[in-house]
Structure 1
Amino acid sequence: MRWRFSTLEFILLLLVVAGSGVAYAWVVYGDGGLIGATYALFSCMPILAFERRIIFRRLYRKIHSLATPGFLLSSIAVYFALVNVGFAAAGLLLRLAGHPGEMIPSLNVLLVALAISGPIIFVLRVRELLCRDVFLNLLTGRYRKPIQEERVFLFVDLAGSTSFAERFGDLKTQEYLGRVFATMADPVLRYGGSIDDYIGDAAVITWPFDRAIADAACIRCVFDILDQIDADAHRWRKEYGEVPSLRAALHGGTIVAAEIGVDKHKITYFGDTVNTTARLEGFCRTFDRQVLISSDLLRRMRLPAFVRSEDLGEQEVKGRGQKLGVFALRVGGLTHGGAKASAEANRVALPPS
């Protein structure tokens, strides 16, 4: 089970929820801060855990596949059930500790629990929609004036999407693409990256440079995505008739980042680095290789033990004044599953984002 909170986020959520319970107890009863915090935590945290897919993940997916009216009614029913169970558990715990504790929440308490959880869920969903880094940068206004910085970009393209669409139609293809992109989410989050954009059948992933090269996080992310696809191969074939074939390219360098837009704001990256990464991904077809990386980026980090590199030489890149050194990356002597085990064995903690 993968936690979808960072440690800092989890602590902040605990403090916000507990603080709300303390405030409610003092306003309504004039006392009982500890009891209020206990009830708040036990009543609200299960809702947040459900929304972050930490508990009842199948139920979460089922509810989110419903039409809007069914989704809203089902979500409210689940929230009320979780609040009741959590409240009863808190009451039992308090009684065991020698404090007076109620086991059944009043309607007022249920509404307060939803009032505490609702805004937090809203903020988390907006953060998920924009991605963590973009959300924080928009809040702080970091890119309101253009900034020059170093970043690493990963372009991941789905091969054969056109033929898939011809066989199964646009709706099935969109479902297929959505599933592929969803598979990328956990590895990207795990290795400190952010999905910047989806362009047709390709995803654009980016990292601040130092975070990307720490323990070769950007390379590990690529092979972790491939591991997850391979691990689910049977399900892919059963549901879609084939296993997705991905092509990936990594390059890094100096770019200009800026917040653009009026009604809809977005952080956009400009510069040769982004264009070069896109051109590099095109070389995957030329050289019939799955994962490529520029020599400029490769020389600035140490390859993971399970990855081997192949020098493809200096290549002319359209729109670029100088040639680009290109290397192919592959798993050396291991299956993707073995690569994953090796990655776990050699993984070290990345610097906090």
Structure 2
Amino acid sequence: MGLSPKSKRRLQRILPFGVIWFVIGLFVLFIQEAATGNKNINPNVVITLTPKVFVFAMISVTIIGLLVGAVEILWLGKLFNNKTFYKKIFYKLSFYTFFLVLTIIIVYPFAASIELGLSPLNELVLNKLSNFLISLDFLSTLGSIAVSLFVSLFYSEISYNVGDSVLMNFFTGKYHKPIQEKRIFLFCDMKSSTTIAEQLGHIEYFKLLKAYYSDFTNAIINHSGAVYQYVGDEIIISWKFEEGIKNNNWINCFLAMKQDLHKKANWYKNNFGLEPTFKSGFHVGEVTTGEIGTLKKEIIFTGDVLNTTARIQGLCNSHNVDILISEELIKELKPDNSLEVKSKGIAELKGKEQKMELFTVSRSS
């Protein structure tokens, strides 16, 4: 069996840490060797860079980077999630500094043992370690580690704020030139949002939106979706066509979002005095995808499919359902006995000449 979408996403977020640490480590070793003319001018402290030591050093620094990434993504990032950007960096640097000093103390004897051909616990190796810990070379090593740490944490924060796939697409230049691709779109809008906002007030309504969007996270990740935009109380989710139709990800994402929100009904009632619900529209079609903007760059989609999806979603109230799906997309639904599909008839979409049959889907009783 392959990795789940959630595991793939975690792996994709952790791997850049290893790459960043490897590249910076390689650069630092190159600078050090260039500065000393490839000669060890302080053999009592510095480890001579033999081929075996070099391989060990690069493997070690990559593993440490991956370990930092795993700690960051799976634990520490969540611990400081509500802190400001600069406080996050400060707290994390403090934690990782202690962690990495301990790592140096553990890794250094192994590198020295490879150089000297002795046991890591040999007296000569331990003496070299003690000399290293009170030398300027130790501070220099801490400095290079701090750079690797800061760059990887900075990358993590930027990635978290703009989205992993968006940041990677910027780096690779995938959408530097516009391309056409087939995508599935879900427009998801909170019901009675204007009334709720008036009832709660601006601050409490914002807190509600924050919790509301947060509760969609697992469903979106677990079904390979990507958040395209948050527009007030509306969230737009997108799939590349192949990823969306795989395992019926597109419809299962909606059903999981609905279920996860309902599970927290009592929490919402206790904190806000109401249970938020939403209505959704689905459609599929060709879009043009590319980078746009000068002061602030974004990767955007353009195409009739977005307008049509918005129109479909807007008909949910008149049909008294919480989901409407275009005929074109419902044809891509893979057989599933747990799903019940019902036609809502032919609809005339605002601003569209061609009429379209719409469908709704629910779990079978």
Change (3 A) 1:282 1:136: same
Tell me if the contact between 1:51 and 1:60 (Cα under 8 Å) persists in the aligned partners.
no
Deviation at 1:204, TM superposition (A): 0.9
Question: Does 2:326 align with 1:298?
Answer: no
- The answer for the alignment partner of 2:47 in structure 1 is 29
d(CA) in 1 for partners of 2:341, 2:225: 22
Q: Which residue of 143, 152, 155 corresponds with 1:123? A: 155
- The answer for the alignment partner of 1:14 in structure 2 is 18
- The answer for the alignment partner of 1:75 in structure 2 is 92
Change (3 A) 1:107 1:247: farther
Larger deviation, residues 41-50 vs 121-130: 41-50
Q: What stretches of structure 1 of length at least 5 have no aligned partner?
A: 334-353
d(CA) in 2 for partners of 1:142, 1:199: 25
Across the aligned residues of Structure 1 and Structure 2, the Cα RMSD in angstroms comes to 3.4
Q: What stretches of structure 2 of length at least 5 have no aligned partner?
A: 33-45
Question: Does 2:330 align with 1:309?
Answer: no
Tell me if the contact between 1:39 and 1:87 (Cα under 8 Å) persists in the aligned partners.
no
Q: Which residue of 280, 284, 299 corresponds with 2:316? A: 284
- The answer for the alignment partner of 1:55 in structure 2 is 75
d(CA) in 1 for partners of 2:259, 2:109: 44
Offset from partner CA, 1:140-172 (integer Å, 9 cap, x none): 434344433221111111123222222222122
Change (3 A) 1:190 1:314: same
Deviation at 1:37, TM superposition (A): 4.2
d(CA) in 1 for partners of 2:165, 2:236: 14
Q: Which residue of 113, 126, 132 corresponds with 2:164? A: 132
Amino acid at match of 1:297: L
SS in 2 for 1:262: coil
Question: Does 2:192 align with 1:160?
Answer: yes
Change (3 A) 1:46 1:233: farther
d(CA) in 2 for partners of 1:139, 1:177: 31
Amino acid at match of 2:252: R
Deviation at 1:236, TM superposition (A): 3.0
d(CA) in 1 for partners of 2:353, 2:143: 63
Q: Which residue of 273, 286, 295 corresponds with 1:263? A: 295
Question: Does 2:158 align with 1:141?
Answer: no
Larger deviation, residues 70-79 vs 222-231: 70-79
TM-score w.r.t. the length of structure 1 is: 0.79
Deviation at 1:288, TM superposition (A): 1.9
- The answer for the alignment partner of 1:170 in structure 2 is 202
SS in 2 for 1:148: strand
Amino acid at match of 1:60: F
Change (3 A) 1:42 1:156: same
Tell me if the contact between 1:19 and 1:37 (Cα under 8 Å) persists in the aligned partners.
no
Aligned residues: 329
Change (3 A) 1:200 1:21: same
Deviation at 1:302, TM superposition (A): 0.7
Deviation at 1:67, TM superposition (A): 4.9
Tell me if the contact between 1:42 and 1:90 (Cα under 8 Å) persists in the aligned partners.
no
Amino acid at match of 1:14: G
Tell me if the contact between 2:15 and 2:69 (Cα under 8 Å) persists in the aligned partners.
no
Deviation at 1:214, TM superposition (A): 1.6
Q: Rg larger in 1 or in 2?
A: 2
- The answer for the alignment partner of 1:339 in structure 2 is none
Tell me if the contact between 2:15 and 2:66 (Cα under 8 Å) persists in the aligned partners.
no
- The answer for the alignment partner of 2:61 in structure 1 is 40
Tell me if the contact between 2:341 and 2:360 (Cα under 8 Å) persists in the aligned partners.
yes
d(CA) in 2 for partners of 1:246, 1:150: 26
d(CA) in 2 for partners of 1:69, 1:195: 25
d(CA) in 2 for partners of 1:60, 1:299: 45
- The answer for the alignment partner of 1:350 in structure 2 is none
d(CA) in 2 for partners of 1:124, 1:58: 12
Q: Which residue of 242, 252, 263 corresponds with 1:210? A: 242
Change (3 A) 1:23 1:207: same
Larger deviation, residues 112-121 vs 27-36: 27-36
Deviation at 1:220, TM superposition (A): 1.5
